[in-house]
Amino acid sequence: MKLPLEGIRVIEITHMVMGPSCGMILGDLGAEVIKIEPRGDGDKTRYLQGSGVGLFPSFNRNKKSFHADLDNPSDLVLVNNLIASSDVLVENFRSGKMESYGIGYEDVRESNPGIVYCSLKGFLNGPYGNRLALDEVVQMLGGLAYMTGLPGRPLRAGASVNDIMGGMFGVIGIMSALMTREHTGKGAHLTSSLFENNVFLVGSHMVQAELSGEDVEPMPNRQAAWAVYDIFHSAEHQMIFVAAVSNSQWFRMCEIFGLEGMADDEELVTNTLRVGQRARIIPALQEVLYTLPLDQIEAKCDLAGLPYARVNSPRELATDAHLLETGALAPTQLPNGPEVLVPLLPLALNGEHFPKRSDIPAPGEHTEEILASLDPERAGK
């Protein structure tokens, strides 16, 4: 596969999730991504435990690791040389930190006017601009935790949605700037942020509140838009989500699950009427589903063309038949030995996933190779 960013060199000076996810997407699209890691053990994200143990393996394939301590003047010279040879720089340090090393945008554009410099921050410039941020911070500030939890119990979403989407918006900005550079020859400084990303995610709820003049109910308490759009239990007490979001789906659902009496009920002929009768419909459907094994419920939903989904845990995704058959999960060797399955980008180019070209690098694994690319004489040593 000819990858769209082949020939683009990216310097990644990042940690945690937002920056590494941006760099990984660029690497998946074919760029040469050079991750600058501190000498010794490298990025501290490699060694997180608990809920952080999967972060480094998930967002650092298709990269090269280069050892350099930014506080070391000699290493900083090497980093500057790398930046001068590159098309893109991605960083997610706190405001002012890159400038303190002399590698802020205004510094590096002097030697590389075509550089596309992507800063990944907690907030865009403004009153909050210098505040430190985490995904959880902006979920609380930006209304997402309010929408996810029960009333009075804000709850962090179960994934680092702002970190990952902030990285994605960084990629969108980088690719746009690279396209512009083709015409102008000039680089650009762009910023993607966690907070504004979060506000973008909850924008429809914000507009709902503006139009209604009322506070929006959190998702667990929201007013139903459809009569059947809920989680049910099978005969084995396994959970399954089932929905019927059109009149035709409603009638097929009634037929396939033996609820013909409801299909003929004139008080249930429209979705609006049915929403008002949810207290009658949901228990009746649940009573039927309690008599059926999960696989039979799924088969009937398939036959009726209904939206449905069993409720999986993340662990079960590693054995999901669809993901395995379509090649959406890439076996990835970690530097310390174990092999894990990691999701590839949720994209297909002419039916093919963007490939994993290289495993997670060991700290500093490619330092000599990269130095040789800067100094041809070194390559012969």
Reading the chain (381 residues) residue by residue, the pLDDT tens digits are: 799 999 999 999 999 999 999 999 999 999 999 999 999 999 999 999 999 999 999 999 999 999 999 999 999 999 999 999 999 999 999 999 999 999 999 999 999 999 999 999 999 999 999 999 999 999 999 999 999 999 999 999 999 999 999 999 999 999 999 999 999 999 999 999 999 999 999 999 999 999 999 999 999 998 888 999 999 999 999 999 999 999 999 999 999 999 999 999 999 999 999 999 999 999 999 999 999 999 999 999 999 999 999 999 999 999 999 999 999 999 999 998 899 999 999 999 999 999 999 999 999 999 999 999 887 555 444
The type of residue at 42 is G
- Residue owning tokens 């990285």: 167
- Residue owning tokens 């939206």: 307
Please tell me the pTM assigned to this model. Answer: 0.94
Under CATH, what is the fold of the domain 224-314?
Answer: formyl-coa transferase, domain 3 (3.30.1540)
Residue 366 token pair? 């490619």
Task: For residue 62, give the nearest of 338, 348, 366, 373 by alpha carbon.
Answer: 366
pLDDT at 377: 53
Angle, helix 247-256 to helix 294-304, in steps of 10 degrees: 140
Domain range list for the chain: 9-201+327-379, 224-314
Q: Note the pLDDT tens digit of each residue in 154-182.
A: 999 999 999 999 999 999 999 999 999 99
pLDDT at 381: 40
pLDDT at 380: 42
Compute the distance between CA of residue 84 and CA of residue 86 in angstroms, rounded to an integer: 6
CB of 244 closer than 8 Å to CB of 250: yes
The length of the chain, given as a count of residues:
381
- What kind of architecture, by CATH, is found in domain 9-201+327-379? 3-Layer(aba) Sandwich (3.40)
DSSP state of 153: B
pLDDT at 224: 84
- Residue owning tokens 């865009």: 124
pLDDT at 336: 84
Alpha helices in the chain (DSSP H): 18-28, 55-58, 73-84, 97-100, 105-111, 135-141, 144-148, 161-184, 194-201, 203-212, 247-256, 260-263, 271-275, 278-289, 294-304, 314-317, 321-326, 367-374, 376-379
CA atoms within 13 A on the CB side of 311: 11
* Neighbour-count burial for 76-114, b at 16+ CB within 10 Å, e otherwise: bebbbebbeebbbbbbbbeeeebeebebbbeebbeebeb
Task: For residue 277, give the nearest of 268, 290, 286 by alpha carbon.
Answer: 268
Could you check whether 9-201+327-379 and 224-314 share the same CATH topology? no
